[in-house]
Amino acid sequence: SQQGEEDPQALSIQEGENATMNCSYKTSINNLQWYRQNSGRGLVHLILIRSNEREKHSGRLRVTLDTSKKSSSLLITASRAADTASYFCATAPGGGADGLTFGKGTHLIIQP
Amino acid sequence: EAGVVQSPRYKIIEKKQPVAFWCNPISGHNTLYWYLQNLGQGPELLIRYENEEAVDDSQLPKDRFSAERLKGVDSTLKIQPAELGDSAVYLCASSFHTDTQYFGPGTRLTVL
């Protein structure tokens, strides 16, 4: 079963613009992660934010987490054509090696 | 460092036939996961191994699916017999005492 729901399901923007994707989840979590999946490829880990953190940055990525609303957002600044991919949020109820529960993903298209 | 290796990358079989997928995790990673990803959806956990022990197989349809991880390294996921609804991408991931999972490219299964 899917834990998270990403919003929007699809997003198309111009290169150089910022892209924001949202994720909502249902149960309490230890951490929330974002992954990227290029067409026909495996998933690549982007960033992890723990339940006691509110914001985290990594390069052009900024992630926020609001545990009271059970929601997270992923911001990609200064988008590039290579950012075209599907983005998934994934939650882990406990820490460590728990299996992840993924959302349905946001398909991001960057127009050159 | 080599990533997670999966084979075959693609498999086409007729319904009721058996099929097997193989995964070689990143060297030294003690935790191995099998996920199923349907078209347009996020991955869903099938089974998680800690070394050679299956510690979470609650989502594995045990009437037709089986998995093994002999010697705590490589793993095989089998379906017998395959059904039309089994058409999907089967992803393998591994981790080592961290929350971050590293995914292989997946095996795309088509059941005719």
pLDDT digit string (tens) for B35-83? 999 999 999 999 999 999 999 998 999 999 999 998 889 999 999 999 9
Buried b (16+ CB within 10 A) or exposed e, A12-31: ebeeeeebbbbbbbeeebeb
How much is the pLDDT for B1? 64
Spatial CA neighbour of A3 closest among A110, A78, A98, A84: A98
Q: Categorize the per-residue pLDDT at B103 as very low, low, confident or very high, splitting at 50, 70 and 90.
A: very high
Smallest CA–CA distance, residue B61 to chain A, in Å, is: 14
What pLDDT score was predicted for residue A4? Answer: 67
pLDDT at position A42 is 87
User: Across all residues in chain B, what is the average pLDDT?
Assistant: 94
Cα(B22)–Cα(B76) distance, rounded to whole angstroms? 5
Amino acid at A42: G
Predicted pLDDT at B71: 87
How confident is residue B87, by pLDDT bands cut at 50, 70 and 90? Answer: very high
The pLDDT assigned to A94 comes to: 74
Low-confidence ranges of chain A (pLDDT < 50): none
Tell whether the torsion through CA atoms of B90, B96, B98 and B100 is positive or negative: negative
Give chain A's length: 112
Q: For residue B111, count other CB atoms closer than 10 A to its CB.
A: 20
Q: How far apart are CA A60 and CA A18, in angstroms?
A: 10
Query: What is the predicted pLDDT for the residue at B54?
Result: 93
Find the residue in B nearest to A1 (Cα).
B44
Helix (H, G, I), strand (E, B) or coil at A112: coil
Q: Looking at beta carbons, which residues of chain B come within 8 Å of A90?
A: 42
Q: Which of A23, A43, A45 to mutate to test the interface with B (most CBs of B within 10 A)?
A: A43
Q: How many CB pairs under 8 A join A and B?
A: 63
